[in-house]
Amino acid sequence: MKPAYLFKAGWRVFFLAAGIWAMISVAVWTLWLAGLGGSGTGAGVAPQLWHAHEMIFGYATAAMGGFFLTAVPNWTGAKAAPERFVMLVAGLWLAGRLAVALAGLLPPVLVAAIDLSFLPVLAAKVLTQLMARPKPQNMMFLLLITMVWSANLLVHLEWLGLAGTEWLGLRGGLLAIAAMIAALGGRVTPAFTRNALIRAGREDRLPVSRPWLDLPGTALPILTALVVLAGAPDAIGGILAIAAGLVAAARLSGWRPLALPGQPIVWALHLGYAMLALGLVVWGLAQLGWGSETGALHILGIGAIGGMTLAVMSRASLGHSGRALVAPRAVAIAYGLIPLAVALRWAGSAFAASFYLPGVIGSGLLWCAAFALYLGALWPIFFELRRNEAEVAA
């Protein structure tokens, strides 16, 4: 293993950073809940808000960075980002995490400036690469990145004492990333399932994408996030979210979700997308007064965003390192731990108050275990040359 290889591609450093930060940000929160973390996180904000902020704008944006720096050159044929740029944006992302962690010691305006710097630099690189072959379905992701950045800005505006928009930003940021999962998952899930079925010689019943569902399947989650960020009444966002969830479920039904039970690297994508459909419906119902909004947001956060990013990061890491697209046993187990973490976290919010701590702590432990398995299985990949490159170098 050579640390210098870590910055040769965006997926290496960001998928590693995402896995590490997934564990750290949840472990700190879980330890605090268990009474082992002192009076707070040192972040200058309430521990539960630090945890929420870092899962949305720390973990999820790291996964985004790795994905876009890897996928966009493949979409457009543009040159991949050079090592020095990968080092720059990775440094900006890390600086944001440190600034928020030390927010109690730093001027709020400095914390905001540092934490808000990562996504604009990433978006600028994505824009230059997309312009090599501009297509509306790809340019749309710049809107989504802007929405996530705007949500983080709303959080910082309250931390600066300028507006009461912290919760609006956290909720809107999570929903914007869920919309990104809807757009990306709607592409990769049927495509990767089709490829796997063809490789298995099962071409009789391939996944079916229905054009009349594809547009609303992408547009409705984006619209839901937009109306939330705009501060629209809860009922409007709730109705849109329910519609988005039902469309997502209808799309998934045509993608043969049960066709390859022996291939975790495929069914994990379906599971993540199913969590997206469920989470949107449950959150929409909560906005209309039925059920726990916190529980619903964690279905989206843990199940849809966590589950889909874990599936995509592990698949991309294997594929781009020249390895077979077969999930190691540890990673397959990690896929299965995510829905268990969802169930416990939802139960912690939905049932009696006496189950809150056991549910949340149990969920946190399962989440940390899942990402420990992911990191343990794939750690060497992030520091090694692609296999055919290593053969040439030898």
Cα 198 from Cα 176, distance rounded (Å): 33
The amino acid occupying position 149 is: W
- Residues in contact with 39: Cβ distance below 8 Å, sequence separation at least 6, in sequence order: none
The DSSP code sequence of 166-180 is HHHHHHHHHHHHHHH
Give Cα 249 to chain centroid, integer Å: 19
- Residues in contact with 224: Cβ distance below 8 Å, sequence separation at least 6, in sequence order: 175, 179, 237, 240, 241, 244, 280
The DSSP code sequence of 196-246 is HHHHTT--SS-----HHHHHHHHHHHHHHHHHHHTT--HHHHHHHHHHHHH
Kindly report whether the global pTM for this prediction surpasses the value 0.85: yes
pLDDT of residue 393: 34
- Residue 160 φ then ψ, to 5°: -85, -5
Question: What token pair was written down for 319?
Answer: 């594929």
Alpha-helical (H) ranges within 255-306 are 264-287, 293-298
User: 10 Å Cβ neighbour count for 165?
Assistant: 19
pLDDT of residue 351: 83
Total domain count for the chain? 1
Closest of 193, 190, 253, 243 to residue 217, by C-alpha: 243
Which residues, given as ranges, of the chain have pLDDT below 70? 1-4, 37-44, 386-394
pLDDT of residue 392: 29
Question: What token pair was written down for 317?
Answer: 């890491």
pLDDT of residue 389: 46
- Residues in contact with 120: Cβ distance below 8 Å, sequence separation at least 6, in sequence order: 149
Q: Residues 191, 195, 199, CA angle at the centre, nearest 5°?
A: 170
271 contacts 343 by C-beta, under 8 angstroms: no
Distances (CA, A) of 370 to 167, 199, 326, 330: 28, 28, 17, 9
CATH number at residue 235: 1.20.210.10
Q: Residues 227, 232, 233, CA angle at the centre, nearest 5°?
A: 130
pLDDT of residue 320: 93
Full domain range(s) for residue 58: 3-199+208-393
Which pLDDT tens digit goes with each residue over 32-64?
A: 888 875 544 445 678 889 999 999 999 999 999
Cα 73 from Cα 78, distance rounded (Å): 5
pLDDT of residue 163: 95
Cα 361 from Cα 311, distance rounded (Å): 23
321 contacts 381 by C-beta, under 8 angstroms: yes
pLDDT of residue 4: 64
